[in-house]
Structure 1
């Protein structure tokens, strides 16, 4: 496991829980709006944190934190992820996984082995626009499989979420993504915040207006039990 960063206390990464958040290095997507290029681009990788020191930190937080959120980058690219999660579970932590859904085999295995308590999956776009938005060839069957795995796993909490840029996603696209994830417990719409981005051309891209976001929420409420805006 290559961990490039840690947030030692977060009140927002795991809904309703106090947690630490760790960020794995490496990603198989190149979303232009990504705010963490040091976790995505090999030439900008952050130094990997020593695993022994990381586990010592978690041991010191037993009884003080509810859980650990594992984000990235894309955590499921790492073969060592199951062992890492097992160590956290042995300490008694709840575990939330943030994923882009490109590794349904590992996702299913982690759920079957009761390694996960919460899964948040990014939905980048309607399937026909996926490769364009993430700037990489994507097997959209894997995306569909991961969505189905999450929707059919009643034991765990879940959230689907989408970052919205006006130049990339229309309200019709929001409708399509709602249909893709119909029946979800929770959907988070994340309006783009201008700033440092993986693609410099998108640093000052336009987010949805309040009116547009209100419309997006109204659309998504037809398909998800709860809709939140970040």
Structure 2
């Protein structure tokens, strides 16, 4: 397991739990607004954290930490992920997986083996704009749809979330997203924030007022909609 980052404590990444976050490298998308561009484009250049060090910390913090968030990059690309999650679950932790949903077969396998407690799946945009937003020509949106339908089927807890930018998202896009995800459990609007590792730093976020208007629009079809990343 090639781990490229380890945040030993987070109050934000796993809703409702005191957790830590593990970052894996590589991704099958090239979203230009990605905050972890180094992990996506050049993971081989990033320092590695030994798995033994991570597991030692998890063993030591049992009874204090409650959950582990596994993010990336795209974690489902790592063939060692199932075994790694088994080790984490054996220590009694709850596991949250961050994913782009493009490998529904892996998502289903992990869920069927009882290795996931919560999934946060990125929704890049309305289906007709998915490939452009994700930076992948010829992207198969049906794979995304497969993951959406699986999560909405109710086997494990989940959230959908969209990083929102003026250049890529507006009222029309959220009207289509609302229809697409109608009845889903919960959905979050995450305001875009620039950082040093953004792949293509040409985007801008919205004001809270505008995000709240998008939220009101989405709540016509989604019962729980939240806003993140604004004061």
TM-score normalized by the length of structure 2: 0.93
CA distance in 2, matches of 1:23, 1:124: 20
Residue 146 of structure 1: CA displacement?
A: 0.3
Structure 2 SS opposite 1:63: coil
In structure 1, the residue matched to 2:204 is: 206
Q: Do residues 177 (structure 1) and 177 (structure 2) align?
A: yes
CA RMSD of the aligned region, Å?
Answer: 1.4
Match in the other structure for 1:149: 150
SS in 1 for 2:95: strand
8 Å CA contact 1:101, 1:143 repeated in 2: yes
Q: Deviations over 1:33-86 (max 9, x none)?
A: 111112111277412211111111111111111110001100001111111111
Q: Does 1:60 align with 2:55?
A: no
Q: Are the structure 2 counterparts of residues 115 and 44 from structure 1 closer, same or farther at C-alpha, using a change threshold of 3 Å?
A: closer
In the TM superposition, 1:68-83 aligns within 5 A as 68-83=68-83
Q: Deviations over 1:146-181 (max 9, x none)?
A: 000100024x21110000101111111012112222
Aligned with 2:27: secondary structure? coil
Shift of 1:223: 2.4
Does the aligned pair in 1 maintain the 2:26–2:43 contact within 8 Å?
A: no
CA distance in 2 between partners of 1:45 and 1:62 (Å): 32
CA apart distance, 1:122 = 0.1
Contact 1:2 1:49 in 2 (8 A): yes
Select between 220-229 and 87-96 the one with higher mean Cα deviation.
220-229
Match of 1:35 in 2: 35
Partner SS for 2:33: coil
Query: Is there any run of 5+ residues in structure 2 with no aligned partner, and where?
Result: none
Distance in 1 (alpha carbons) for counterparts of 2:179 and 2:22: 31
Q: Which residue of 1 aligns with 2:225?
A: 227
CA displacement at 1:99 relative to structure 2? 0.3
**Structure 1: which 5+ runs fail to align?**
none
Query: What does residue 136 of structure 2 align with?
Result: 136
Deviation at 1:212?
1.9
Q: Partners in 2 of 1:14 and 1:45 — Cα distance? A: 28
Partner of 2:117: 117
